[in-house]
Structure 1
Amino acid sequence: MRTYRLKMNLQYFSQEKTEKATPQKRQDSRNKGQVARSAEIPSAFMMIGVFLFMSFLGGWIIEGLQTMIRSNFVYITNWTLTEQNVDLMLKDNVWQAAVIAAPLMGISLVMGVIANYMQVGFLVSTDPLQAKLERINPLKGAKRIFSARTLVELLKSLIKITFISAVTFTVLWNKREEVMLISQKSIGDAISLVGSLIVQTGLAVGILLLFLALLDYVYQKYDFEKNIRMSKQDIKDEYKKSEGDPLIKSKIKEKQRALGMNRMIAEIPSADVVITNPTHFAVALKYDPNEMDKPTVVAKGMDYVALKIKEKAKEHDIITTENVQLARALYHQVEIGDGVPEDLFKAVAEILAYVYSIKGYPGGGN
């Protein structure tokens, strides 16, 4: 019973999401469009950009509106009210309004792009656009409506409305004397005052929203990091997926070593001599002066592999000679298929000369 409980506890803790997300997990989330971002930052940037533009070029906007209104009055007094004239006037008004609104829309677009790029960089993901049945699941929809995140969003909205109302009231209260006298001003001065109040209020609210948006971004970052946490089992599964199952990898390496050793052993019959130390190391050399510049190692091994090399050499009547220092040097310094280094030429030449004298010919090869 205790063993069962211990096993269940270990399984529970292995599934508990307590670990920071790995780079692979972060990249997968990013590919799905899941990133830490605040929707309030683009709104704040757009508001500040639009009202800054209006503060510098508000006169041009007002002049454009006045021109449009003035031209309408002129057209109405001079034109006959027909369907064609009304259509022409509306098209002209739409065009003039578009010219006036285009800079504001352009500023909004640029500021929105900048704000999003500052948060998440360049990101294009189609995953949020894909149709998923779980999004229309009533049960999951109800859970989202009554979740803690929804309550947090509601609280944020209430705080935002409260602060925006307070800032708007403060700006208007500071200008209350001018507002009270607006009825005594000319139409141009009244419009100028109203425009100034709108720009001041908009900038103040924009700066406030930017401050609240930065706080919201900190919260979104924290919430995002919490949501992408991984359990210890998740990390193990990810490692297996990316690197491969360790058991399978070891089997593959074992097969590769076996194939490599088989190919190496198959080359031993063409060797001229096997040099041993005598038990731990064995190195098989081949030399054909017509094809090679220097003797070449065709097989080498230690312990069990060395034993197999010596058995194969004995099977094919390959001469085996003992030279502890040379066997060790060849094993550690020369890879299979490489030639003998110059500093070992003399020792190897002496052994080959000995082998050739036994075989009864002065040249190399079989």
Structure 2
Amino acid sequence: MSDDRTFDPTPRHRQKMRAKGETALSRDLVSASMLLSGMLIFWGVGEFLGSVPIQFAESAWSDGAVLEMTPELFLQKWNFWIWTALFLVIPFLAMIPITVVLVSLIQTRFLFLPSKLSPQWKNLNPLTGLSRIFSLDSLVVVGFGLLKITLVASFIMWMVFRQLPQFGNLCRLEFHEAILRMKGLILGTGLQISLVLFCLALADYGWQFYRHKQRLKMTFEELREEIRQQERAK
């Protein structure tokens, strides 16, 4: 029973475990945040992002432009639109990796350990790997993954069958209007799927936070050794 972690951690023990990289981190929440931020960006400014190459093609290959087009003029226009795209498009797309970094840092409370970047040779131990495979965390990850696949697949099927009449009506519309309507349907469906995945990722973070609290708890031997070290430091 001495290995049971039933005692609340002391501040010193919390600090020691944090220095070892013990945090609550949900990778599902990171990936779901990336997907959701990407869908929100394309939902909000997708039309603007798509207009940049279209405007370049219209200005470069219009009737008047074709008659006056020379290699030097084309290169000049190409450079102009490339820089325009960099200044207008890249800032929006950069919000996706920025969101990923922020979500990771917020979960770990801005913890960065360079030592974690170096190879950990103890992780190559087959016995350690087997123990991780058959651990409670691995079983929960597998079960949660199967649940997530089932829920997302069911949601996609429900969305597709619900919107089948709308896809059928696209054949009666003008080409440009049909493209706009299809874009709205695809982005709307993608956004709703992203929200479902984000909600499931929040549940996964709740589990990771609970397991983090359990790993922080101390055994009787650890608590007794902690008290001894505090008495020696006085």
Partner of 1:16: 4
Please state if 1:61 is matched with 2:20: no
Q: What is the Cα deviation at residue 220 of structure 1?
A: 0.8
SS at match of 1:14: coil
Please state if 1:191 is matched with 2:179: yes
Partner of 1:129: 117
Partner of 1:172: 160
Partner of 2:194: 206
Partner of 2:23: 35
Q: How does 1:328-347 map to 2 (within 5 A)?
A: none
Give the Cα separation in 1 of the matches to 2:127 and 2:76: 53
Question: Structure 1: any 5+ residue segments left out of the alignment?
Answer: 1-12, 81-86, 250-366
**Which has more radius of gyration?**
1
SS at match of 1:181: helix
Note if contact 1:44-1:213 (Cα within 8 Å) is conserved in structure 2. Answer: yes
Question: For each residue in 1:66-98, what CA deviation from the matched residue of structure 2 results, as whole angstroms up to 9, or x when unmatched?
Answer: 335557877xx8999xxxxxx999989976775
Partner of 1:271: none
Corresponding pairs, count: 230
Partner of 1:228: 216
Q: What is the Cα deviation at residue 37 of structure 1?
A: 2.4
Note if contact 1:46-1:111 (Cα within 8 Å) is conserved in structure 2. Answer: yes
Partner of 1:116: 104
Which structure carries more helix by proportion?
2
Paired residue type of 1:49? S
Give the Cα separation in 1 of the matches to 2:85 and 2:126: 44
SS at match of 1:239: helix
Q: What is the Cα deviation at residue 136 of structure 1?
A: 1.8
Give the Cα separation in 1 of the matches to 2:77 and 2:136: 53
SS at match of 1:175: helix
- Picking from 25, 30, 45, the partner of 2:33 is 45
Scaled by the length of structure 2, the TM-score of the pair is 0.78
- The sequence identity of aligned pairs, in percent, is 26
Question: For each residue in 1:123-163, what CA deviation from the matched residue of structure 2 results, as whole angstroms up to 9, or x when unmatched?
Answer: 22223213221112233223323433222212222222222
Partner of 2:151: 163
Paired residue type of 1:211? C
Residues 28 and 211 (structure 1 numbering): CA distance in 2 closer, same or farther, change over 3 Å?
A: same
Residues 31 and 179 (structure 1 numbering): CA distance in 2 closer, same or farther, change over 3 Å?
A: same
- Picking from 147, 151, 162, the partner of 2:139 is 151
4+ runs deviating over 4 angstroms: 68-74, 77-80, 87-101
Paired residue type of 1:161? I
Give the Cα separation in 2 of the matches to 1:96 and 1:165: 40
Give the Cα separation in 1 of the matches to 2:82 and 2:153: 33
Note if contact 1:35-1:120 (Cα within 8 Å) is conserved in structure 2. Answer: yes
SS at match of 2:9: coil
Give the Cα separation in 1 of the matches to 2:207 and 2:214: 11
Paired residue type of 1:55? W
Question: Structure 2: any 5+ residue segments left out of the alignment?
Answer: none
Residues 210 and 179 (structure 1 numbering): CA distance in 2 closer, same or farther, change over 3 Å?
A: same
Note if contact 1:50-1:104 (Cα within 8 Å) is conserved in structure 2. Answer: no
Paired residue type of 2:146? L
Q: How does 1:241-256 map to 2 (within 5 A)?
A: 241-244=229-232
Residues 102 and 226 (structure 1 numbering): CA distance in 2 closer, same or farther, change over 3 Å?
A: same
Question: For each residue in 1:303-331, what CA deviation from the matched residue of structure 2 results, as whole angstroms up to 9, or x when unmatched?
Answer: xxxxxxxxxxxxxxxxxxxxxxxxxxxxx
Scaled by the length of structure 1, the TM-score of the pair is 0.53
Q: What is the Cα deviation at residue 234 of structure 1?
A: 0.4
Give the Cα separation in 2 of the matches to 1:55 and 1:65: 18
